[in-house]
Amino acid sequence: MNEHTLSTRLQGVAAHVPSGARLADVGSDHAYLPVALIQRGVIAWAVAGEVAATPFRAAQRTVRERELEGRVQVRLADGLAAVEPHDGITVISLCGMGGETIRDILDIGQARLRGGERLILQPNGGEQPLRQWLMTHDYRIVAEDVLREGRFDYEIIVAERTGPVPYSARELYFGPLQLHARSPAFLAKWQRRLRLKLKTLAHFAERPQADVEARRQDLIREVDWIRGVLDEGGAGQVSH
Q: Are residues 136 and 196 in the same domain?
A: no
- The answer to whether residue 2 sits within a structural domain is no
Q: Are residues 36 and 83 in the same domain?
A: yes
φ, ψ of residue 145 to 5 degrees: the values are -130, 150
Domain final position from 137, 167, 197: 167
Selection from 25, 53, 51, 52 nearest residue 38 by Cα: 25
Q: Are residues 82 and 139 in the same domain?
A: yes
Each residue's pLDDT, cut to its tens digit, for the chain (240 residues) gives 566 679 999 999 999 999 999 999 999 999 999 999 999 999 999 999 999 999 999 999 999 999 999 999 999 999 999 999 999 999 999 999 999 999 999 999 999 999 999 999 999 999 999 999 999 999 999 999 999 999 999 999 999 999 999 999 999 999 999 999 999 999 999 999 999 999 998 888 777 676 778 888 899 999 999 999 999 866 554 433
Q: Which residues are paired to 26 by β-bridges? A: 49, 94
- The answer to whether residue 3 sits within a structural domain is no
- The answer to whether residue 14 sits within a structural domain is yes
- The answer to whether residue 239 sits within a structural domain is no
Q: Are residues 216 and 139 in the same domain?
A: no
User: Rounded to an integer, what distance in angstroms lies between the CA atom of residue 231 and that of residue 237?
Assistant: 7
Q: Are residues 226 and 156 in the same domain?
A: no
Boundaries of domain holding 153: 8-167
- Order the strands of the 72-76 sheet from edge to edge: 72-76, 43-50, 21-26, 91-97, 118-123, 152-161, 139-149
